[in-house]
Amino acid sequence: MSFKEAIPLYSTEYGTAYTGDSYYLLKNLNSDSIDLVLTSPPFALQRKKEYGNKDQEEYVDWLLRFCPEIMRVLKPSGSFVLDLGGAYKKGRPVRSLYNYRILIRLCDECGFNLAEEFFWHNPSKLPSPIEWVNKRKIRVKDSVNTVWWLSKNDVPKADVKNVLVPYSERMKTLLKNPDTFYKPKKRPSGHDISGGFGKSNGGAIPSNLLQISNSESNSKYLRLCDKFNAKRHPARFPAKLPLFFINFLTDPGDVILDIFGGSNTTGEAAENLGRKWISCDLDRTYVAASAFRFFEEPIKEKHKIIYSNLLNSNNLPINLPGKHQLLLFPNNQESTIELMKNIRLT
């Protein structure tokens, strides 16, 4: 079941999940109200998938339709992070350039800045396409997605100190006795290495290559999908991906938006980090099952009733148990369009 309009399905302590057309949702959000739009749309793959991906020929125009509204709802300090998987041209061992065409048009036509390009390496990704990689063996496994970090201005909110990674063993050794391992001087590359290089800053600056395995097999979401006989979303990204960008680009209390929410990994990550969130997906069954991320185990009869209502009830949104709710909908008798006009995300 799906809706053309965006309808609030459930609310948690920090956020609200919608089902329906996210373009409709975007049109009715306030300007300059969102700190981070973080999303992974259905990719432009060769074959149709059950979660609704578009054909490569129409994909770029389809996705660009959302982007002027994303620009409008972002705060001046906000960021737009877009995860796009690569694809081959149909019937040919030649890569599509659709993800790069999207980037160029986002900058040239919509006015976004490319703050930085990231690359998500998924070591557990299966080899594909089978024809070129497994059968003919003329291409290697494609295991990297492009992740475009875009912004409204040159200096969006960002703090690398929030995403430092552990020092290497070699760096740990250097920090114990820096005078033994290096002397401050200008290197042949032109870099001037000062004495501060031997000072610990709590961790190393990460690179723009994010190695995160997508091998989830026993999460609460998957367990409860099995328990409730619910359809799993087949294209989930790992929680560590949104966690990185939410930590990097937002502060507690900021507002995160995912317009292609799927199983709502972004909402769960935002909730765990104390950020407000809004998520939307066209398929109500996927949005209903995404509520499993916020159920407390062990499962009781009330959870079965909640899930049934998420699938079938018209008395929406359903408030999931939590310390407090993000009160976006003060009066359920109002029309959906009026409710969304009343949203104040400040």
Instruction: Please say if 124 is a catalytic residue.
Output: no
Catalytic residue among 22, 40, 79, 290: 40
The topology under which CATH files domain 7-162+207-340 is Rossmann fold (3.40.50)
pLDDT-derived band at 175 (thresholds 50, 70, 90) equals: confident
Q: From the candidates 11, 35, 41, 317, which is the catalytic residue?
A: 41
Amino acid 202 reads G
Q: Is residue 100 exposed (0-12), middle (13-18) or buried (19+ Cβ within 10 Å)?
A: middle
Q: Between 60 and 43, name the one with better pLDDT.
A: 60
Q: Bigger pLDDT: 346 or 217?
A: 217
Please name which of 291, 281, 287 lies closest in space to residue 257, comparing C-alpha atoms.
Answer: 281
DSSP 110: T
Active-site residue among 21, 83, 258, 283?
83
Look up 279 and say whether it is catalytic: no
CA count, 13 A, side-chain hemisphere, 290 = 33
Q: Is 68 a catalytic residue?
A: no
Length of the chain: 346
Is pTM beyond 0.85 here? yes
Residue 346 has pLDDT above 60, yes or no: no
Task: Examine the pLDDT at 186 and tell me if it is beyond 60.
Answer: yes
The beta strand positions in the chain, using DSSP E, are 7-11, 15-19, 34-39, 74-84, 113-121, 144-151, 185-186, 192-193, 209-211, 255-258, 276-281, 318-319
The structural domains of the chain, with segments of one domain joined by +, span 7-162+207-340, 166-204
Q: Which residue has the higher pLDDT, 53 or 337?
A: 53
